[in-house]
Amino acid sequence: MIDNEVLQNILTYGPVFLLIAARALAMIEVAPLLSSDAVAQPVKLVLAGMVAFACMPTADIFAANAAGAGAVTLPGTNMLSDLRYEPFGLRFIFLLLGEAVIGLIIGFYLTIIFAAFSTAGQFFSLQMGFGASETFDPLSQIENPLLGQYLNLVAMLVFLTIGGLRDLFIGGFWRSVQSLNVASLVAGYEPIVKTLLAGLTRLFLDAIVISLPIVGTLFLTTLATGLISKAMPQVNILSEGFPISISVSFLLIFITMPFMTEAFARVIDSGFSGLETLYAGIGRQIEGGGP
């Protein structure tokens, strides 16, 4: 049974609750791991509602007068500094859409960070002979080579191990509720675009750094087998080259896995650091700090 006081708070602050819930649901629909089809849609809706209710006590940036009658003032900058809306009116619908856009930006940015792992697997899958083994990856929701799926799965495990879900909802979502609203989104669209573009650039950089040891070793292996084929033409290099490349690749993955997991953790931490930098650049200064 839901406590009557909980229901009363939701009804009293209904507009604020819906705004935060729209942002939470949009983020959950796009964010890594939670966006998977393995997570049922009712579970996502319930999770968004729980997160919204938990964040309402710190959501004063949304509503200075939400408990009172009349319109609610949204503190902001520039042309939206005096924006007011009637709860459940036309402007409120546009604000809901704006909150959903903020949630999509948060989830999409983290998805870009996670795409580096499957991209790294794609870089060396072709060289090691697994380029034709693309299947549907339920985690990344795309056609992905086997090695890309493997690295993506390892990244998800690292994400859970280092407390990624905690950082997602506290450092990623809760901080955004404390510092950002639609006014901040409109006034700071340039830093948002720059952050997303920087995330795309970092995607390929991280993928290259992660895959470089294996790609470089496979290049030397291919070069060595080519020299052997020139020195001994009677050797069928096609039949011998693939087993050698696959064996060397798996041996390298086994040896470098501890270093890969550390690299995965640093990449994930850098993604959350990028979100915090974005909040500090376009959002309201958060007082008191804390987790």
**pLDDT digits 0-9 by tens, 95-144:** 888 888 888 888 888 888 888 888 887 777 777 766 655 555 555 555 66
User: What is the pLDDT at residue 83?
Assistant: 42
* Tokens read off for 152: 């993506």
Residues 6+ apart with CB under 8 A from 101: 26, 185
Average pLDDT over residues 22-40: 84
Provide mean pLDDT across the span 162-167: 84
Mean pLDDT score across all residues of the chain:
74
Of 221, 217, 204, 201, residue with least CA distance to 256: 217
Identify the pLDDT of residue 157: 87
What are φ and ψ of residue 186, in 5° steps? -70, -45
Helix (H) or strand (E) holding 115: helix 90-128
Query: What tens digit of pLDDT does each residue of 244-287 get?
Result: 777 888 888 888 888 888 888 888 888 888 888 887 777 665 44
**Would you state the pLDDT for residue 248?**
82
Q: Where are the beta strands (DSSP E) in 8-158?
A: 72-73, 84-85, 135-137, 142-144
HSE on the CB side for 234, CA within 13 Å?
Answer: 0
Degrees to nearest 5, angle at CA 254 with 249 and 255: 100
Structure-token pair, residue 247: 């064996």
Q: Are 259 and 155 in contact (CB under 8 A)?
A: no
- 8 Å CB contact between 279 and 174: no
Amino acid at 11: L
pLDDT band at 291 (very low <50, low <70, confident <90, very high): very low
**What is the dihedral sign for C-alpha 101, 106, 112, 117?**
negative
Q: Give the residue carrying structure tokens 């087998």.
A: 225
Tokens of 104: 């999509």
| Average pLDDT, integer, range 41-45 | 86
Stated pTM of the model: 0.74
Q: How far apart are CA 78 and CA 179, in angstroms?
A: 16
Of the two residues 24 and 80, the one the predictor is more confident about is: 24
pLDDT band, residue 70 (cuts 50/70/90):
very low
pLDDT of residue 137: 54
How high is the pLDDT of residue 290?
42
Measure the CA–CA gap between 137 and 143, rounded to whole angstroms. Answer: 6
Residues 6+ apart with CB under 8 A from 156: 32, 33, 139
Contact present, 98 and 47 (Cβ < 8 Å):
no
Q: What pLDDT, on a 0 to 100 scale, did the predictor assign at position 5? A: 64
